[in-house]
Amino acid sequence: MRPQDRGLFYVRIQRVETEFENMSRQMTGAKMIVECLKDQGVDTIFGYPGGAVLPIYDEVFQQNAIQHILVRHEQAAVHAAEGYARSTGKPGVVLVTSGPGATNAVTGLTDALLDSIPIVVLTGQVPTFMIGNDAFQEADTVGITRPCTKHNWLVKETAALSETIHEAFHVATTGRPGPVLIDIPKDVQFASAAYTPIKKARVSHYQPPVKGDMASIEELVAAIETAKRPVFYTGGGVINSGPAASQLLRELVEATDFPITSTLMGLGAYPGSGKNWLGMLGMHGLYEANLAMHGCDLMINIGARFDDRITGVVDAFSPGSKKAHIDIDPSSINKVIHADIPIVGDVAHVLEDVLKVWKSRGRKTDKSGLQEWWAKIDDWRSVDCLKFEQVSQVIRPQHALSRLEYLTKDHDRYITTEVGQHQMWAAQYLNFDDPNRWMTSGGLGTMGYGFPASVGVQVAHRDSLVINVAGEASWLMNMQEMGTAVQFKLPVKQFILNNERLGMVRQWQELLHGERYSHSWSEALPDFVKLAEAFGAKGIRVDHADDLDEAIKEMIAYDGPVIMDCLVEKHENCLPMIPSGAPHNEMLLSESSTKDAIGSKGAVFV
Amino acid sequence: MSALKIKKGANKHSAYNLRPTFSDQQETHTLAVLVDNEAGVLARVIGLFAGRGYNIDSLTVAEVDHEGKLSRITIVTTGTPQIIEQIKAQLGRIVPVHEVHDLTVEGPAVERELALFKVEGSGEKRVEAMRLADIFRANVVDSTLSSFVFEITGAPEKIDAFAELMRPLGLNEVARTGVAALSRGNA
Ligand SMILES: Cc1ncc(C[n+]2csc(CCOP(=O)(O)OP(=O)(O)O)c2C)c(N)n1
Ligand SMILES: [Mg+2]
């Protein structure tokens, strides 16, 4: 070949190569799905097979890049994916069949929607030509899941499949994260078309802005400079924004020396051992956190949404404060509480700008005002609203969690919870120094979330200590996942605070319904130790305070899944508590204040 | 081409006025929403209104940009200023929604609706119906010896007024399209 022809030759070869590549990228829809997932960096899917997804399962079988975790119920698949997503910051992926597979996923989708968790759910559907015929295992999946997903798609052509899946990942993880669903008819899985890799997929028009408005940021900085009684009120948005956001938050808190509280969803963004930490706020939040919110003159809401568990009665919420609200979702702003300084943007981006502007203006705060404010806060802190005494051998739930905290705090530890009193006690008595370590169902309050979530977390962090703090009633709602934990050798620890009651319901009945305990008993409970053994796991029962530490140590030490049945005081109330309909400064603090409590003089007025 | 003929990012057209007044006053607003013309998009919009308890006074939808596969939904809704702001923000959150514009606050707009009226009668009433139709510039698009179908276009209030007048004259059936609206002047 003459040297001058060489260029031509290479061009030709290249052309042949691209043509070959295009040809070789023809594939079935089923294979395309697996390619897309690999392309998206997915390493794990949680799923359950059925007729409408068999071609996809066939492809899953023929590869090793992606592990498939076979759950025992589709709801659990979604919660496991949520646990995976929250603990890694990556989207969780779920694969389920049509009809009942899809409808079983609905609770998980709604849970992920309310807590803004990025989840991609792939559902099988009956073939396109049978849709609408009430075919076997047909459900209007996109119709049913439209209100409980951030977005969903029914893909009717294989040619559109790969781009749709890439778009789905983009939507799930961009802006305010959330669950998405792609419904894929069986004929679309069988047919072939060209694969579109991520790089070639068309750019989505969905691009929510991440930078905050600079004029509003200046306004916030000016408020920071002059505030006498400021407080940071942070939420799950800080965690969703990523590790940089938590880092910047810590820097801002240290630099300004402002106090900080957080919602249930935001725990760990600022370290629980940090000196400016007031503890969680809200209905079962700490006294000092709620009073600081009530009495502040500047409230800086970062990635929280003024949920009703936080505000209590809206008209009496923090009456004297100027309120700044940073949120990536414009609909969160002014939805519940009027924001004086609204800033739409991603938490990390906005905090970076706030810090930059604040520093460039000379790092000013009202030092003497702050000093007085901290003195007041220290007063509130001295009430020590979480104090309790472990007197008899009957284990108090607060004590169980304090010991759990003490014995596990130095471990590489992740905590999930179910929903109820135990969940609130876990939020109060466990300490989180890092984001992504605390997985709980906040917005939807889904009993049955914690166990599958712990499975998902453990899959992502094989060597870490993963504990689900559970109530006996919630735990039973997804107990079938014992099979998953045992099959996949996931050493999840199920720490059940067994009060033989639907404790939170019982508490409300005591306070609101004249102690008429209608159906809030956990009757006919299984023997949890035998139950564990039946699944091939380890069971431990403890009912004496003296034996608690040993039992916890035994649980931690065991290399495999454990059910720990920790029998606790049956009629303990979760306090402090802001009764619904009351403002923050009318908090029930101690048992004595709960006598004839809600809407009466028994409440502690501050 | 923006099928809304409103420049993107133009401040006076911002759909996110973030400082509402939280007043209790009920207001009626006309919203123009530009969406991808894809399956289910109307269900998303209607589902949002139903699910969150917002009012729909009128709703029209049709493709306006065939190449770009975009449809324009015109919604007339009533609520407090805070609710109207929420509606706009919630609409903006729907993934296939490209733009949301509040024509009521973004300067003057023209609003038009088309309606068909079937009026049945004879004698004096029939003559009077014909005379009023003339005043309202309604066209007769079908007639028999004892009935007319009038076609009328105009602002919704004009159509309401025409309906009121036709009622005693034998109005039997009405079909209305709902409001289509555009901002006046240059975008
Ligand atoms: C799926 C579901 N159903 C019902 C409820 C209402 N609910 C909230 S807490 C609770 C009791 C939970 O009991 P348990 O899991 O034993 O926790 P405890 O409060 O006793 O700690 C119930 C029934 C819920 N949150 N989720
Ligand atoms: Mg219980």
Task: Please say if the pLDDT value at position B19 is more than 50.
Answer: no
pLDDT of residue A579: 80
Cβ-Cβ contacts under 8 Å for A194 (sequence gap 6 or more):
A22, A25, A26, A159
Residue of B14, B18, B70, B84 to mutate for A, most A C-beta atoms under 10 A: B18
Ligand 1 touching residue A473 (CB < 6 A): yes
3-state helix, strand, coil in chain A (%, to 5): 45, 15, 35
CB B121 within 8 A of CB B129: yes
Quick check: CB of A422 below 6 Å from ligand 1? Answer: yes
Contact A231, A291 (CB under 8 A): no
Q: Which residue has the tokens 């659990």?
A: A76
> Which residue among A446, A501, A504 has the greatest number of ligand 1 atoms within 8 angstroms of its CB, and so is best to mutate?
A504
The amino acid sitting at A355 is: L
**Which residues, at least 6 apart from A319, have a Cβ–Cβ distance to it below 8 Å?**
A294
Give nearest CA residue, ligand 1 atom 18: A503
| pLDDT at residue A15 in the model | 54
Tell whether domain A214-381 is in CATH 3.40.640.10: no
CA atoms within 13 A on the CB side of B14: 8
* Residue A68 neighbours by CB distance under 10 Å: 18
Active-site residue flag, A136: yes
Contacts with A171 from chain B: Cβ below 8 Å: 95
Sort out which chain A residues have CB atoms less than 8 A from B20's CB and list them. 334, 338
Mean pLDDT of B104-116: 95
Nearest CA in chain B to A208: B93
| pLDDT under 50: residue ranges of chain A | 1, 596, 599-606
- Respond yes or no on whether ipTM tops 0.85: yes
Best mutation target, B36, B48, B90, B95, to test chain A (most A CBs within 10 A): B95
Q: Which of A387, A317, A417, A447 is nearest to A575 (CA)?
A: A387
Task: Check if A20-200 and A397-567 are the same fold.
Answer: yes
Say if strands A413-417 and A341-344 run parallel, antiparallel, or are unpaired.
unpaired
DSSP string, A154-169: E---GGGHHHHHHHHH
Phi/psi for B21 (5° steps) reads: -100, -5
Domain boundaries, chain A: 20-200, 214-381, 397-567
Catalytic residue selected from A31, A150, A186, A493: A186
Q: What top-level class would CATH report for the domain A20-200?
A: alpha beta
* pLDDT attached to residue B11: 36
Domain B27-102, CATH number (from 3.40.50.10490, 3.30.365.10, 3.30.70.260, 3.30.479.30): 3.30.70.260
Contact A147 B43 (CB under 8 A): no
User: How many angstroms does the Cα of residue A514 sit away from the middle of ligand 1?
Assistant: 19
Ligand 1 centroid to Cα of residue A417, in Å, is 11
Residue list, CB under 5 A from ion ligand 2:
A 471-473, 499, 501, 503
pLDDT for residue B4 = 43
Confidence (pLDDT) at A593: 61
Contacts of A329 in chain B (CB under 8 A): 89, 93
- All CATH 3.30.70.260 domain ranges in chain B, comma separated: 27-102
What is the reported pLDDT for A343? Answer: 98
Strand A413-417 versus strand B27-36 pairing type = unpaired
CATH superfamily label, A397-567? Thiamin diphosphate (ThDP)-binding fold, Pyr/PP domains (3.40.50.970)
Question: Cα separation of A151 and A180, whole Å?
Answer: 5
pLDDT of residue A315: 86
Dihedral of CA A107/A111/A114/A118: which sign? negative
For all residues of chain A together, what is the average pLDDT? 94
User: Which ligand is closest in space to the CA of residue A450?
Assistant: 1
Dihedral of alpha carbons A502, A503, A505, A506, sign: positive
Q: Could you tell me the two tokens for A387?
A: 């104090």
User: What local confidence, expressed as pLDDT, does residue B15 receive?
Assistant: 36
Torsions phi, psi for A514 (to 5 deg): 60, 35
Contact B85 A334 (CB under 8 A): yes
- How much is the pLDDT for A20? 52
| Residue owning the nearest CA to atom 20 of ligand 1 | A503
Provide the pLDDT for residue A606: 26
* Contact residues for A368 (Cβ-Cβ < 8 A; gap 6+): none
pTM: predicted TM-score of the whole model, two decimal places:
0.92
User: For chain A, first and last CA: distance in Å?
Assistant: 93
In chain B, list all ranges with CATH 3.30.70.1150.
109-183
Query: How confident is the model at residue B176, as a pLDDT?
Result: 97
Q: What is the pLDDT of residue A591?
A: 73
With CA atoms as reference, report the closest residue to A216 among B19, B8, B83, B82.
B19
Query: φ, ψ for residue A551 (rounded to 5)?
Result: -65, -45
**Alpha-carbon span A280 to A262, nearest angstrom:** 5
pLDDT at B75: 98
Q: Stretch B126-153: mean pLDDT, rounded? A: 97
Contact B40 A329 (CB under 8 A): no
pLDDT at B5 over 50: no
Over 50: is that where the pLDDT of B6 sits?
A: no
From the list A282, A309, A236, A271, the residue with the least C-alpha distance to A86 is: A236
Q: Which CATH code of 3.30.420.40, 3.30.70.1150, 3.30.2130.30, 3.40.50.720 fits the domain covering B109-183?
A: 3.30.70.1150
- Rounded distance between C-alpha atoms, residue B14 and residue B120, angstroms: 48
Annotation says A306 is catalytic: no
* Residue-wise burial string across A163-194, b where 16 or more C-beta atoms lie within 10 A, e elsewhere: bbbbbbbbbbbbbbbbbbbbbbbbbbbebebe
Closest among A522, A468, A473, A501 to A569, alpha carbons compared: A501
Six token digits for residue A459: 């899959």
pLDDT given for residue A580 in this prediction: 73
